[in-house]
């Protein structure tokens, strides 16, 4: 087994192991990928301020995220098709997060269902919701999340229409993968991945299987999904979801100060500054550039979290310095899952926490909650 020292090591292992269509689905972005690349470039451009002569013994990375204790200010973000990176991937990621001590968020577009994951963990997890044209189906997902004991609902707002991801089209991505000559050759080169995924509980969207009228085949199921993203989504729908759910509500996909003010006024528990990992509006501002103005607009009325390009503990600390109280990671844990299954997710979390801890010490911090713009160089 190769020595894994950073998230990039996990990414490279996942690239070698996972079928290209699935790896590219995780790794790539929309259109020219300008926003995807800006997420990383703008984080990397921030310089930390090294401090010495300060007692940094007995450091703490613990925080509360929407009232839930977390070992570090990081939650696993919702990610579609997680279970095609590794069999039963959602269950494995949820277990890794539970054992490590951070929240896990299950996507509506997961392979394993809400019920599958609930049966595989001992503690509550979070569920991510898309409000679809079929409001009755959205309401049924909320009810299922309640029954499963989910402790928070993450409502994603920035997929009312879907941005085009060129690589997915070129790879013929479908669920399960469409068997073209290119995908057949790729699968033949990745027999370990293919055999692994075939052993999983499910091969399609678990939350949707058997729930959609007249969805007698994968083709009709996919057509139903494609028609369900709803351009009429409005703040009234957010209020509707809030009323139905009645518990902790987190809004993901906020990138504008005006939207942040509206969201805070609705009394939600947290908002996530996110551009969907550079997978939606290409040319949008990077999440880290949007973060300070969003935090300023909210002024403590609700928690502000950050999502977009995190590959290290240093990235986490930079986000906290610019106004976030916590973060979410997507690709970083998916690389770990694709590389090594549950152990890979755990390794990704270990890497980020160790980097965060060391970086805090070298910036003169003992408690992660004390991060501020003072730890960044002008």
Looking at residue 204, what is its pLDDT?
A: 84
Residue 158 in any domain: the answer is yes
Mean pLDDT of the chain: 94
**Is residue 297 packed enough to be buried (19+ CB in 10 Å), middle (13-18) or exposed (0-12)?**
buried
Domains identified in the chain, total number? 1
Residue 199 in any domain: the answer is yes
Q: How many CB atoms lie within 10 A of CB 62?
A: 13
Residue 221 in any domain: the answer is yes
Q: How many CB atoms lie within 10 A of CB 197?
A: 24
pLDDT digits (tens, 9 = 90+) for 299-332: 999 999 999 999 999 999 999 999 999 999 999 9
- In 103-253, alpha helices (H): 114-118, 135-147, 166-171, 181-189, 191-198, 218-226, 235-245
The Cα angle at residue 199 between residues 194 and 201, in degrees rounded to 5: 125
Integer Cα distance of 323 and 82 in angstroms: 29
- Token pair 């070129």 in the structure block, residue: 170
Residue 95 in any domain: the answer is yes
90, 295 contact by CB (below 8 A) = no
pLDDT digits (tens, 9 = 90+) for 241-271: 999 999 999 999 999 999 999 999 999 999 9
* pLDDT surpasses 80 at 136: yes
| Contacting residues for 252 by C-beta, under 8 A, at least 6 apart | 77, 78, 128, 154, 155, 156, 157, 158, 271, 272, 274, 307, 328
Looking at residue 295, what is its pLDDT?
A: 98
Looking at residue 215, what is its pLDDT?
A: 56
Whole-number percent of the chain with pLDDT over 90? 86
89, 26 contact by CB (below 8 A) = no
**Which CATH number belongs to the domain containing residue 177 in this structure?**
3.20.20.70
Residue 2 in any domain: the answer is no
What is the domain extent for residue 246? 7-375
Active site residues: 276
- Token pair 């997420």 in the structure block, residue: 39
More confident residue, 192 or 219: 192
Q: What is the CA radius of gyration of the chain?
A: 20
Residue 1 in any domain: the answer is no
Residue in 28, 29, 17, 63 with CA at minimum distance from that of residue 194: 17
């Amino acid at each position: 087994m190769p020595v894994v020292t950073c998230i990039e090591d996990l990414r490279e292992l996942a690239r070698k192991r996972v079928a290209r269509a699935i790896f590219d689905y995780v790794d790539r972005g929309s259109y020219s990928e300008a926003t995807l690349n800006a997420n990383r470039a703008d984080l990397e451009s921030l310089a930390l301020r090294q401090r010495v002569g300060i007692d940094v013994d007995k450091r703490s990375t613990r925080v509360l995220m929407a009232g839930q204790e977390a070992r570090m200010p990081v939650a696993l973000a919702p990610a579609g098709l997680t279970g095609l990176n590794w069999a039963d991937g959602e269950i494995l990621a949820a277990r890794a997060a539970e054992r490590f001590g951070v929240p896990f968020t299950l996507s509506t577009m997961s392979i394993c269902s809400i019920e599958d994951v609930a049966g595989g963990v001992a503690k509550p997890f979070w569920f991510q919701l898309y409000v679809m044209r079929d409001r009755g189906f959205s309401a049924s997902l909320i009810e299922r999340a309640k029954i499963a004991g989910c402790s928070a609902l993450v409502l994603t707002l920035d997929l009312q229409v879907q941005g085009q991801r060129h690589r997915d089209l070129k790879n013929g991505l479908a669920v399960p993968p469409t068997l073209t000559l290119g995908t057949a050759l790729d699968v033949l080169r990745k027999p370990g991945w293919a055999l692994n995924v075939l052993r999983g509980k499910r091969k399609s969207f678990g939350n949707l299987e058997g729930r959609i009228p007249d969805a007698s085949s994968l083709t009709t199921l996919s057509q139903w999904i494609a028609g369900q993203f709803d351009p009429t989504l409005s703040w009234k729908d957010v209020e509707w979801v809030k009323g139905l759910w009645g518990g902790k509500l987190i809004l993901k996909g906020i990138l504008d100060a005006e939207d942040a003010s509206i969201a805070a006024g609705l009394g939600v528990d947290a908002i996530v500054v996110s551009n969907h990992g550079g997978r939606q509006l290409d040319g949008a501002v990077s999440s880290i550039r949007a973060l300070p103005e969003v935090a300023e607009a909210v002024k403590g009325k609700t928690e502000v979290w950050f999502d977009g390009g995190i590959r290290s503990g240093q990235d986490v600390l930079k986000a906290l310095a610019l106004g976030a109280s916590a973060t979410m990671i997507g690709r970083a844990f998916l690389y770990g899952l694709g590389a090594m299954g549950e152990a890979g997710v755990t390794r990704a979390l270990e890497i980020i926490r160790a980097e965060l801890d060391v970086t805090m010490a070298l910036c003169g911090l003992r408690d992660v909650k004390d991060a501020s713009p003072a730890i960044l160089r002008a």
